[in-house]
Structure 1
Amino acid sequence: MTPPLAGLPLGAAFVAFALVSACAVGLVARFAPRWPSPGQRLPSTALRAAVVFAPAVLGAVGCAALALPNPFVGCHCAEHGLHHPHLCALHLAFALPLVTPSAYLVGAWLALVAPGILRLLRDTFASVRWTRAVRRLPTVAFEGVPVRFADCGAPTAFTIGTLSPLVVIDRMLWRSLSDEERRAVVEHERAHVERRDGLTLLALRLCVALFPSPAGKRLIDAWRAAAEQSCDRYAAGKLGDPAAVAAALVAVEKIRAQGARGPALPAQAMGALAGRDLSRRVLALLGAEQPLPSAEPLLANDVLATAIVAASALLLTFVWPGDGFHHAIETLIGHLIH
């Protein structure tokens, strides 16, 4: 009978692969250029998200290659003998010598990530409270988008909610905008809703919390910047005029600069405000090299896009690289513990 903790070494292997990948991704990101030149379009949001998800994906792929090498060929354990520990999903008992060091590794990892997980839980609960309060507000349909108007204490517009996102606009800001500027703001927020950016942001923050890297926050900020630019282009396509969206961004920032500073938005909110990123977003909309978006731009969720790529990579591990990678890792572990 296999002991209950016999599978712990495979879990430790996943953690080790993911943490090493997170450090590698973080180090590369620290030395990469922070932004493209002003007016240049940022890389796609799916690519930005994939970089953040890379440690989890690589950890899963590495663990799958380690646990199920060449599943269609036969038993590799019998072929390689017992001169080193075996990490195999079919023969968990062969990994019993690794249970104790694996427990230390998993315990250290849990202690490392506990503060980040607690912060994420705190922010998530705050977002849930905001969403519940917003959901009680009356809904007004504008351009087919359900909008909640609230006295936020500062001119702001944002989308909040993970699975059922809601659009919220400050009443004072709404009264200060022209009809065209209102359309631009609402279409921008519609894009956040359609893309389910709140879900993506939560998944990104969870990945960074579980697998800390030297540039985790920077990578999430880069994704948020790309997401805002993507929503700008969506709004430009819906209005048929990028200049109108750029003018709306400028108008919102002028009103925001003159308004009072209100309470901070929850960390899970996606806002239409540009702040210090205003010049880049305006130049990206007005850049001559940017083609006008189509009338109905396609939107997709970045978590789903990354999951499809990850599933393909996992399927690939069942046919390649075979048991060569698996045996190399097992041999290395054998040398380390003997």
Structure 2
Amino acid sequence: MTSPLVTLPLGAAFVALALVSACAVGLIARFAARWPLPPAQRLPSTALRAAVVFAPAVLGALGCAALAFPSPFLGCHCAEHGLHHPHLCALHLAFALPLVAPSAYLLGSWLAFTAPGVLRLARDTIASARWTRAARRLPVVALDGVAVRLADCGARSAFTIGALSPIVVVDRVLWRSLSDEARRAVVHHERAHVERRDGLTLLALRLCIALFPSPAGQRLIEAWRAAAEQCCDRYAAGKLGDPAAVAAALVAVEKIRAQGSRGAALPAHAMGALAGGDLSRRVLALLGADQPRQGAEPVLANDVLATAIVAAGTLLLTFVWPGDEFHHAIETLIGHLIH
């Protein structure tokens, strides 16, 4: 009977491919950052930004699938290529026995290296979940059909919190300080975060960076955040039918925040309407000529789901092409490395 330990090489192959891809993505991101976008230019789509962060995990999974199931519709790969190199095949796990020990060392080192980041993410997730449960008990006001929890946040902020069942929270002082039109802009901006499930996406992005560290990991997440904020700005502009009103609301929120914030930190997984240092870009993008009219707001979709759909389609393609060729090339390389 084959020991379950022989599956370790497949896990090590997944980790190795993902880590190499993470380094490549991070280096490309650092190189691309030397050419910043013009101030008024709209950022690339949030799905594309998220896909860049998810790329290492997706590429690792695709490569591992090609290794485990080479040409699944064309017969036995192992019989065709012989035993001149180790085999990583789901049908003949025993052929991977020579790779069990080095795979165990690789996986152990990876787990030890990533454990602090994963534990930090787990603590942030638990704290955010507790914050969300407490926020659900706060007083609720409804505006344009959106339930808003009013809280004494300490920071003059409006944000969405919660991964699976998100809610909108607005600081009580900020709410009282805003005009009716600015309140509507803020509420619809946050509603877009809710509909897109951006809290879930942020959690998945942070998990991917924790498991497969990248030289530009945090920068990639912040780039996705910036694109998500612009997407929600456009949604609010479509709902109000006036991009200038949303831009004015952003400026108003930033003024109130700068004057009255006591420096309290928001939960780690909160998606806020604050513009911060990106205020100029967001305002200029809102005032651009190609903004949607009322009733023509962008379609909202979850970036994790979009990436998963594309990855599933690519996985099916991997079984057909390059399949056997890619599988055999990796196995041959492994054979040269261990002999």
Query: TM-score band (shorter)?
Result: over 0.9
Q: Distance in 2 between matches of 1:294 and 1:31?
A: 39
User: Which stretches in structure 2 are left out of the alignment for 5+ residues?
Assistant: none
Q: Could you tell me the percent identity over the aligned residues?
A: 84
Q: 1:147 to 1:289 in 2, by over 3 A?
A: closer
Number of the residue aligned with 2:302? 301
**What residue identity is the alignment partner of 1:170?**
D
Q: Distance in 1 between matches of 2:32 and 2:198?
A: 25
Q: Distance in 2 between matches of 1:226 and 1:18?
A: 25
CA apart distance, 1:263: 1.6
Number of the residue aligned with 1:192? 193
Number of the residue aligned with 2:287? 286
Structure 1 residues 208-241: Cα deviation after superposition (integer angstroms, max 9, x where no partner):
0000010000000000000000000000000000
Number of the residue aligned with 1:53? 54
The count of aligned residue pairs is 338
- Asked if structure 2 preserves the Cα contact closer than 8 Å seen for 1:152 and 1:262, the reply is no
CA apart distance, 1:139: 2.1
Q: 1:144 to 1:117 in 2, by over 3 A?
A: same
Q: How do 1:174-213 residues align onto structure 2 when only pairs under 5 Å count? A: 174-213=175-214
Number of the residue aligned with 2:327? 326
TM-score of the pair, normalised by structure 1: 0.98
- Asked if structure 2 preserves the Cα contact closer than 8 Å seen for 1:87 and 1:94, the reply is yes
Q: How do 1:71-150 residues align onto structure 2 when only pairs under 5 Å count? A: 71-150=72-151
Q: How do 1:160-309 residues align onto structure 2 when only pairs under 5 Å count? A: 160-290=161-291, 292=293, 294-309=295-310
- Asked if structure 1 preserves the Cα contact closer than 8 Å seen for 2:19 and 2:213, the reply is yes
2:159 match: secondary structure: strand
Mean Cα displacement is larger for which, 240-249 or 30-39? 30-39
CA apart distance, 1:125: 1.0
CA apart distance, 1:289: 4.7
- Asked if structure 2 preserves the Cα contact closer than 8 Å seen for 1:234 and 1:293, the reply is no
Number of the residue aligned with 1:23? 23
2:320 match: secondary structure: coil
Q: Distance in 2 between matches of 1:152 and 1:78?
A: 66
2:149 match: secondary structure: strand
- Asked if structure 2 preserves the Cα contact closer than 8 Å seen for 1:233 and 1:293, the reply is no
CA-atom RMSD in angstroms: 1.1
User: Which stretches in structure 1 are left out of the alignment for 5+ residues?
Assistant: none
2:264 match: secondary structure: coil
Q: Distance in 2 between matches of 1:271 and 1:216?
A: 20
Q: Distance in 2 between matches of 1:334 and 1:33?
A: 38
CA apart distance, 1:258: 0.8
Q: Distance in 2 between matches of 1:25 and 1:294?
A: 38
